[in-house]
A and B are shown apart, each in its own frame.
Chain A
Amino acid sequence: MPTLSEAASKQLLAGFGVPFPPEHVVGSPDDAAAAADTLGYPVVVKLGGEGIAHKTERGLVRLGLGSAEQVRDAAGALLAAVTPDDGDVHLLVAPMLRATRELIAGLHNDPQFGMTVMLGVGGILAEAVADVAFRLLPIERVDAEEMIDDLALQALLGEFRGEPAVDRTAVADVLLGLSRAATERSDLASADLNPLLVVDGRPVAVDALVELR
């Protein structure tokens, strides 16, 4: 199954109302530095492309860059790490978001139940914690709201460490956006929003991976 690049995945899902941070796709270290100046510091720079899947494992994500010089150096190092197998590549420059809470959301085609939408508690322990809720597509707003209610770690969704409570309507909007994406794009095989950060109580997806049939 073909996998879309992170930038293309985000573009597709943003069309259905999934919130992403403002990002710039650029080709050179100088353009990356200019983009970072526009966004304000700190920023994240990632290497992107259809052939690039496991960015973190390959060290292709550079976090917390605080100046134009750091951005230029990081961008140069990322481009130097490109291998011939990677195909066309680009640089993704995005603001560095800080969040104590991470959710995960996505679409999955179940062999028995067809397309499903998922919401869960995210972070590196997501699969071990496995606090997740599924629904069959399409979903209504009431289904999305009940998925949020289904999560066991409700304490994580209330006011938390000085941060406001999670905006449940905005989380439901993400799930409804995923549902619409799957309904309208019949070529969509799966999607991951991981992590779906909670920033000032609102969900923002800082990574996306879409598979097409």
Chain B
Amino acid sequence: MAGSGGGAGTDTGRFRALFEPRGVLVAGASTHPGKFGFVSLHNILACGYEGKVFATNRDGAEVLGVRSVAEVDDLPAGEIDLVFVCTPASTNADLLRACAKKGITAAFIASAGYGETQTDEGRQAEAELVALADELGMLLAGPNGQGVVSPPAKLCAQIVAPYPPRGHIGITSQSGNFVSSFENYAQLTGVGISRAVSAGNAAAVTVPDYLDYYADDPETRVALAYVESVGDGRAFVERLRGIAARLPIVLVKGGASAGGQRAAASHTGALASDDRVFDGACRQAGVSRADTIEQAYDIAATLATQPLPRGNRVVVVSTAGGWGVVTADALARTSLDLIGLPDGLRLAIDAELPPRWSRNNPIDMAGGETRDTVPRVLQLAASHPDVDAVIFLGMGIQANQAKLMREGPFWPEHGLERIVAYHERQDARFAEAAASVSEATDKPILSATELAITSPANAAPAAVRASGRLCYASANRAVTALDHLWRRSRWLQRRGLPIR
């Protein structure tokens, strides 16, 4: 697609029509609550979209309180930017022509019956749809997609749940179900999204097109994409390289092992499996490639909420021993460096903790954690010039005990009420300290505890969420995410690009 800038007839203007529409039309609204034409209208209305909502329905029926019309011609002009299309493929050409006359510049086609059918008819219908959108100057998302979500506009135009919290991750996927998966992680972690769009068959607007828009979108700090087919691999990677210099991209590729090794005359060729070449191309392009969906969300959420480390020198701070040990093991498998504690830092911590602390890295506070020592030790570690990042472990233990007391038969007598309040306040303070020290030092501090998923209401993970950051479900997941952050930072530094 050509053209830039922000006007209505430009790419940016059309993407804005998709993500920040002034009004939305659901074409093919249905009174049957099982149909796409009902669900999409339901989700738009239920999630609080504040623009005008219109609907077409063959019989002009009222759906969810919206008075529909039978023909687009009966709608007002200049009030609608986006049409969400649930009508049969055969009727969509006429529909888009009528929409263009009303000033609509973006269409999300949920309808199936196109290229995904793998039939000549389907492929031809798709080609005709693309040509028509081109002729009409209309952005064409899909077809065969699940929808578009844009929390800054309170827009949830999709045929699936959930409606995720607002944040700074821009999502696009060749599989609509993975858009949902990512949105579920946004809900679980509280680290929200800026935009999410299912590329569907990506007949006109492709995954790199969305990423390119996200790079200039002030709401988006990191892009998260799922792809299966990349078509012309070289063109795909070269576009991603141009975008990755401006915006971090986290990518999951499905079918990574499908190609396998091909027969080749040369040894080099024999070693050139699809996945190895793609992996090298991603590293070259500065794209953070994730192995799994949950890892991808961890990395994206980290890029969205933590500053980039300047180097790979890590200190682990733990309230108790075992966690630090396994975290050290996890670090040893990455490009990160668990540094020996600098003498000055050891002496400074000596002054804060009882003598039983570990006196090396990982820093095991060995029960010496108090409302004062945790913030002080985090501050000392993170502000040290030889430290680039901190991993913080062992929060939430006391609040977990508090939960058992609160739910037990002795509550609130025997002094339980007071101690529970104290424990919960304490664990919240630890989490808050991690966020505020990270902000003050501009260095990443990643807090990890399995309570993030086993007991999300625990004061520690709850306070991490309230600080806008990800509470990692395990130390090794924090290590993996931090490793990707460091690799991103190193890629930028080695190429003289600004670290952001």
Q: Interface of A with B (CB < 8 Å)?
A: 1, 104-108, 110, 112-114, 116, 118, 120, 126-127, 130, 132-136, 139, 142-143, 145-147, 150, 190-192, 194, 209, 211
Interface contact B268-A118, CB-CB below 8 Å: yes
Q: In this assembly, does B93 line the interface, its C-beta being within 8 Å of a C-beta of chain A?
A: no
Q: In this assembly, does B230 line the interface, its C-beta being within 8 Å of a C-beta of chain A?
A: yes
Interface contact B280-A108, CB-CB below 8 Å: no
**A116 contact set on B, CB distance < 8 A:** 272, 277, 280
Interface contact B233-A112, CB-CB below 8 Å: yes
Interface contact B283-A209, CB-CB below 8 Å: no
Interface contact A113-B281, CB-CB below 8 Å: yes
Can you list 15 residue pairs at the A/B interface with Cβ under 8 Å?
Answer: A1-B265, A106-B267, A110-B233, A112-B233, A112-B277, A113-B281, A118-B272, A126-B267, A127-B267, A130-B276, A132-B276, A136-B277, A136-B281, A190-B266, A190-B268
Q: In this assembly, does B351 line the interface, its C-beta being within 8 Å of a C-beta of chain A?
A: no
7 A-B pairs closest in CB distance: A106-B268, A134-B280, A112-B233, A113-B233, A108-B268, A190-B266, A114-B234
Given the interface pairs A116-B277, A134-B272, A134-B276, the reply to whether A192 lies near B237 with Cβ below 8 Å is no
Q: In this assembly, does B495 line the interface, its C-beta being within 8 Å of a C-beta of chain A?
A: yes
Interface contact A211-B266, CB-CB below 8 Å: yes
Interface contact A127-B271, CB-CB below 8 Å: yes
Interface contact A136-B271, CB-CB below 8 Å: no
Interface contact A126-B232, CB-CB below 8 Å: no
Interface contact A134-B281, CB-CB below 8 Å: yes
Interface contact B280-A112, CB-CB below 8 Å: no
Per the bound structure, the CA–CA distance linking A34 and B279 in Å amounts to 49
Interface contact A150-B280, CB-CB below 8 Å: yes
Interface contact B266-A112, CB-CB below 8 Å: no
- Chain B 230-265 interface 0/1 with A at a Cβ cutoff of 8 Å (1 = within): 101110010000000000000000000000000011
Interface contact B234-A136, CB-CB below 8 Å: yes
A140 (CB) vs chain B CBs: closest residue: B495
Q: Interface of B with A (CB < 8 Å)?
A: 230, 232-234, 237, 264-272, 274, 276-281, 283-284, 494-495
Interface contact A108-B264, CB-CB below 8 Å: yes
**B277 contact set on A, CB distance < 8 A:** 110, 112-113, 116, 134, 136
Cβ of A168 to closest chain B Cβ, rounded Å:
14
**B495 contact set on A, CB distance < 8 A:** 142
Given the interface pairs A113-B234, A134-B279, the reply to whether A108 lies near B284 with Cβ below 8 Å is no
**A192 contact set on B, CB distance < 8 A:** 266-268
Per the bound structure, the CA–CA distance linking A116 and B275 in Å amounts to 13
Per the bound structure, the CA–CA distance linking A142 and B492 in Å amounts to 11
A112 (CB) vs chain B CBs: closest residue: B233
Interface contact B268-A104, CB-CB below 8 Å: yes
B230, B267, B270, B274: residue with the most chain A Cβ atoms closer than 10 Å: B267
Interface contact B268-A147, CB-CB below 8 Å: no
Other A-B pairs beyond A112-B232, A112-B277, 12, CB < 8 Å = A106-B268, A107-B268, A110-B277, A118-B268, A118-B271, A118-B272, A130-B276, A134-B277, A134-B280, A134-B281, A136-B284, A209-B266
Interface contact B267-A142, CB-CB below 8 Å: no
Given the interface pairs A104-B267, A114-B234, A209-B266, the reply to whether A135 lies near B272 with Cβ below 8 Å is no
Interface contact A108-B266, CB-CB below 8 Å: yes
Interface contact B280-A147, CB-CB below 8 Å: yes
Per the bound structure, the CA–CA distance linking A112 and B273 in Å amounts to 11
